[in-house]
Amino acid sequence: MALQELIKPFMDYFAHRRESLTRLLESEAVDAFLITNPINVTYLTGFSGDSSYLILSKTRAILVSDARYTEQIGEECPGLEVHIRPHDQSIQKVATDLLDKLGFHRVGFESGQLSVADLETLVGLVPRIAWKPGRDRVESLRLVKDASEVAQIREAITIAEKAFAMFRAMLRPSDSEKDLSDDMEWYVRRAGGRSTSFRTIVAVGERAALPHAPPTSRSVGNAELLLVDWGAVGRFYNCDLTRVFADRRISPKLEQVYGVVLRAQQKALGAIRPGVKARDVDAEARAVIGEAGFGQFFGHGLGHGIGLQIHEAPAIRQNSDAVLQAGMVFTIEPGAYLPGWGGVRIEDDVLVTPDGFEILTHVPKEPILRIGEW
């Protein structure tokens, strides 16, 4: 067998994802799906632009787009059928006409994504099309990452970790939270990222008691601790990390809280394997923090899936129904936030493997990082 033939199944991830989706056509009794969420269009085609719909049937996959993207689609989605709409016609009009022309009159739409107004437009255009709502069809596929996605998450992590090395090297006591947050954007881009995954959280001292502290003009000074929560987007995929720095002298309080949060994370990590309920992983961490007397200060879920979006399924929290499967990638980020004092969160990204888990992030967390050690 020629090499090309051997590697083909590994190369065409997008076709494979579309195939997984078309398997749902029959059970939903529809002729085609209309994919309107740009993130899901990217997942199914590799196209990085927006304002485009994907029509997907058993035998056809057609990207409906406009002339701005003709060349880009050729580069990003070689071999994909494309329908470029005339600039004086709306995407809804062109997509419904195409569905009608192809004889697709029972169409599944993304009810979690399409606005009520857009649906009204679609319904009014070709009355003989019956629209069938469906939630999370593509999102359910995105729950379990394929090898190409895991590789891209690893790439995003490499970028975020390079950026963090620059951040650490450049960190000065005179820097404000906002300076440091802005600097991280530059470091991530400099390290090859498209952008940070979200506005970097830099929280000094007692401001770290706010789990999602917006950066202020407060400077590092001689604060007891500094919390940094950051992530990078590679080409498409996100990552998410949190580390805490201590001043040269670590107070007994910080040592205690940090130790509890670290133990909680280790306990939760140890519970990760396929078949385990996400809520049970959350419970492991919550028990450690609760036993230490900080239960009321851990007010968020233990983690969230990462991928094309920074927050996606599965949710790793108390009320989650998710059951872990090999290929899921999510954060494990226990925390303890003590009003008036500060907070500690330690966040790593984890891949569920067939027999356990792999921590994808590598920035050291033991012992606690020190401000001024470079």
Please report, as ranges, the residues that interact with Zn ion according to CB under 5 A.
Answer: 229, 240, 242, 331, 347
Residue 214 Cβ, how far from Zn ion at the closest point, in Å?
A: 14
In order, the DSSP letters of 93-137 are HHHHHHHHHTT--EEEEETTTS-HHHHHHHHHH-TTPEEEEESSH
Q: Which is nearer to Zn ion, 92 or 331 (CB)?
A: 331
Tokens 């067939």 label which residue?
354
Residue 238 Cβ, how far from Zn ion at the closest point, in Å?
A: 10
Residue 264 Cβ, how far from Zn ion at the closest point, in Å?
A: 15
C-alpha 192/C-alpha 12 separation (Å) is 25
Element (H or E) spanning 84, and its range? strand 81-84
Residue 159 Cβ, how far from Zn ion at the closest point, in Å?
A: 15
Q: Which is nearer to Zn ion, 40 or 361 (CB)?
A: 361
C-alpha 53/C-alpha 32 separation (Å) is 12
Cis upstream peptide for 367 (omega within 30°)? yes
Q: Which is nearer to Zn ion, 35 or 306 (CB)?
A: 306
Q: Which is nearer to Zn ion, 240 or 247 (CB)?
A: 240
Overall residue count recorded for the chain in this entry: 374
Residue 23 burial (CB count, 10 A)? 9
Residue 302 Cβ, how far from Zn ion at the closest point, in Å?
A: 10
Q: Which is nearer to Zn ion, 247 or 348 (CB)?
A: 348
C-alpha 218/C-alpha 214 separation (Å) is 11
Closest CA to 331 of 315, 346, 345, 350: 350
C-alpha 298/C-alpha 172 separation (Å) is 30
User: What's 61's DSSP letter?
Assistant: E
Q: Which is nearer to Zn ion, 284 or 347 (CB)?
A: 347
C-alpha 7/C-alpha 77 separation (Å) is 18
Structure tokens at 136: 């999370």
- 210-232 per-residue burial string, b: 16 or more CB within 10 A, e: under 16: ebebebeebbbeebbbbbbbbbb
Element (H or E) spanning 310, and its range? none
Residue 311 Cβ, how far from Zn ion at the closest point, in Å?
A: 7
Residue 360 Cβ, how far from Zn ion at the closest point, in Å?
A: 13
Q: Which is nearer to Zn ion, 40 or 331 (CB)?
A: 331
Residue 317 Cβ, how far from Zn ion at the closest point, in Å?
A: 12
Q: Which is nearer to Zn ion, 36 or 242 (CB)?
A: 242
Q: Which is nearer to Zn ion, 183 or 347 (CB)?
A: 347
Looking at the DSSP bridge assignments, the partners of residue 286 are: none
C-alpha 224/C-alpha 162 separation (Å) is 25
